[in-house]
Homo-oligomer: A and B are copies of this chain.
Amino acid sequence: MGENTLPEQIAHQLRREILLGNLKPGAPIKERDNAAELGVSRTPMREAIRILAKEGLVELRPARSPVVASPTLKEVTDCITVIVALEELSGELAVQHATEAEIAEIWKLHERMRDNYDVYDHIERFEVDMEFHMAIARASHNEALAETHAAYLRRMWRARFLSARTRRNRERVVRQHGEIVSGLQSRDAGQVAMAIHSHLGHLLDSISEAFAGQPETARPAEEQDANKALTA
């Protein structure tokens, strides 16, 4: 459970609250209150907030309260554009450099997703999905790439979480993951690139739909106080 350092633990807590929606987009995050809430001082809480800012989950404004980020549709689609490029590159490099063990690991994650799709709840499902994509990036044997890719995935976690609730996604997601893995196994760069592109393309579609359906998620940024949300 516990990450390494205290600020990371705090960041983990806050991140969870944000991603679950207990801290609504636009809500201010006050150092004192939240620090007191968790029984720590402002110093590590400050650092935790910076960590989340680096991940794009909160927005820092000089001399003002940091707020939970509320990205616009364009910002989200921009990020996904970058993710596509990063993951296509990951796939291309993984085809060249991934070990058999790493590909087997990716396959295992795919199996876990496929076999437990209905067993897992939303969060567990997304955690496996994230691990799957991160494993691909790691298999590129390019640490910088894997790191940047992971940062973008985390940043998009909530947006993806809000979309992709639809049931018909299930079969498609699993099938596309399968195509990616199979491309890796046969070391077919073209197939991998194609599968990744198509997979993330659909992600972009479903997120756009979600924004169209619930435009309140976009900018208006409901000003709700962040206090007391941490005790849950």
- The verdict on A85 contacting B75 (CB below 8 Å), with A50-B47, A62-B4, A148-B148 known, is no
A47, B145: Cα distance in complex, Å: 25
A54, B81: Cα distance in complex, Å: 22
Closest to A53 in B: B54
A34 to B: closest C-beta gap in Å: 18
Closest to A56 in B: B144
Quick check: B82 and A143 within 8 Å, CB to CB?
no
A159 to B: closest C-beta gap in Å: 12
A152: chain B residues within 8 A (beta carbon):
144
Quick check: B89 and A85 within 8 Å, CB to CB?
yes
A142: chain B residues within 8 A (beta carbon):
78, 81-82
Closest to A149 in B: B82
How many positions in chain A have a CB within 8 Å of any CB in the partner chain? 21
A79 interfacial contact with B, CB 8 Å:
yes
Residue of B4, B54, B78, B82 near A54 (CB, 8 A) is: B54
Quick check: B78 and A89 within 8 Å, CB to CB?
no
Quick check: A78 and B143 within 8 Å, CB to CB?
yes
By a beta-carbon cutoff of 8 Å, the part of chain A in contact with chain B is 4-5, 47, 50, 54, 62, 75, 78-79, 81-82, 85-86, 89, 93, 142-145, 148, 152
Chain A to chain B contacts (Cβ below 8 Å), 20 pairs = A4-B62, A5-B62, A54-B54, A75-B143, A75-B144, A78-B142, A78-B144, A79-B144, A81-B89, A81-B93, A81-B145, A82-B86, A82-B89, A82-B145, A82-B148, A85-B85, A85-B86, A85-B89, A144-B152, A148-B148
